[in-house]
Structures are given as structure tokens and as C-alpha cells.
Amino acid sequence: MSLVVRNVHRADAGVVDALAGYGVATVHEAQGRKGLLASYMRPIYRPAAIAGSAVTCSVAPGDNWMIHVAVEQCKAGDVLVVAPTSPCEDGYFGDLLATSLKARGVRGLIIDAGVRDIAVLTDMGFPVWSKAVYAQGTVKETLGDVNLPLVCAGALIQPGDVIVADDDGVCVVRREEAAAVAAAAAKREANETDKRARFEAGELGLDIYGMRERLAEKGLKYVDDPPQ
């Protein structure tokens, strides 16, 4: 049996937007270095930076039928997350589906498979993070699930989790942790602004972070290159 779960709970819209502003690297650090999708998930154009609530969709290899089902479950501010049930690089998604999602206010697509029509998607400004760019067409024969938890590019994603994506890749934040992570990210960013000024002024990380003593304790030695 295949299932579509309607009306999944989303995180607070203000929290989602705040997370978009911090970006993937900061959010990932702020939540304890977890939640990243695999490094092969790359954006089709740069720069691109979004955050949104996950609508999840599992699909059979070479079959994009369920994406049409998932579109109906998407609302403004969502991000569609698609994962095949076995590895596949086919082009499940193109400009027509993007037009449909954009009309609903969806912010982007995360797909552990292929995407096509990327020239048009780039012109439309509809961002996609994918495993591959590949024109291979798909069929509409087999069911999957919408809004059940799934593993996408090595990360567990639950419907309603917050997806943060930018030029560095994709990160997932649990819905119930989103507010706390946004607060931690804000703090981390404030701290970095201060550090950035000191680095720009020529200070060294060795001094800013007070590392010299611990390095020496661990056994670091300095020698000079002999004259030649």
C-alpha cells in the first residue's frame, strides 16, 4: 500500500526564513555538526540559497508519477524532497513540474537523482539540488509514498523538517529543533562577525583561539629550513 500524508506539521515560518539567512555551514555547525546530505548533491545554478519545510516523496527507479501526487501536498514556503527507492540518475523533474511548484510558492527541489531542462530552470530562478543532470525520461507506472520519513542522499528526512540549501549543499533541521538551531546559528554568526574583523586586521587564528599552548603540549615542534 502507498500512502499520502496530508497536512503535515511545519516549522514556524519566521524560523524557517531565519535559517535561510544563516546558510548551510552555519546551521550544520549550530546543530552539532549533523544533518548534511551527501556532498554529491549540487545546485544547478549559483548562487542559490533557500530554506523551507520538507514535503517528502519516494519514487520507483525511472518513474516520476508520485511527484505529481506530491505537488498537491506542497504549500508556499515548502521544499520538495525526492528520493528513489533504489539508486537512479534519471531526469525525474523538468520545467513543467517546476512551473507547477513555482505556481504554488514552493522554494526549490532536493532530489537524490537526476534533473533536466536546467537551462529553463535557471532562467525561471527555480533552484534544484540534485545528484545528476540527465535528460533520461521516466514513466508513470509505480506508486511510492508522500510525506513519510525517507533517507535522501544519506540523511534521514521527516516531513515538516526544515531544509536549508545553498552553494555549499543541503542540510536538514528537525522541525522540533528548528527554533533552537536558529538561535544557536544567530549566536554563532555574531561571534564570526567579530572574528572576521580580527582576521582581516591580520591577527592569527593561533592567537585569536589561543591555540599555541595546546599545540606545544601535543608535541608540535618548529625548525628552520637550512640555507641552501
| Conformational region of residue 105, where left means phi above 0, alpha means psi within -120 to 50, and beta covers everything else | left
Is residue 65 a contact residue for its own copies (CB under 8 A)?
yes
Is residue 107 a contact residue for its own copies (CB under 8 A)?
no
As measured in angstroms, the least distance from the Cβ of 26 to its own copies is: 9
Is residue 189 a contact residue for its own copies (CB under 8 A)?
no
Q: Which three cell numbers stand for residue 173?
A: 533541521
Q: What's the first-to-final CA gap in the chain, in angstroms? A: 76
Is residue 220 a contact residue for its own copies (CB under 8 A)?
yes
Rg (CA), the chain: 21
Residues 19-38 close enough to bind its own copies by CB under 8 A: 23-25, 28-29, 33-34, 36, 38
State how far the Cα of 23 lies from the Cα of 112, in Å rounded to an integer.
20
Interface size with its own copies, residues (CB under 8 A): 99
Q: Which three cell numbers stand for residue 200?
A: 582581516
Choose the stretch contacting its own copies; rule: CB under 8 A; options: 14-22, 178-186, 189-197. 189-197
Residues 193-212 close enough to bind its own copies by CB under 8 A: 195-196, 199-206, 209, 211
Choose the stretch contacting its own copies; rule: CB under 8 A; options: 12-20, 179-187, 213-221. 213-221
Is residue 147 a contact residue for its own copies (CB under 8 A)?
yes
Residues 87-106 close enough to bind its own copies by CB under 8 A: 87-91, 94-97, 99-100, 103-104
As measured in angstroms, the least distance from the Cβ of 178 to its own copies is: 14
In our burial notation (b when 16+ CB lie closer than 10 A, e otherwise), range 1-27 reads: eeebeeebebbeeebbebbbebbbbbb
Beta bridge partners of 171: 36, 164
Choose the stretch contacting its own copies; rule: CB under 8 A; options: 14-22, 59-67, 178-186. 59-67
Task: State the virtual CA torsion across 203, 206, 211, 214 in degrees, nearest 10.
Answer: -140
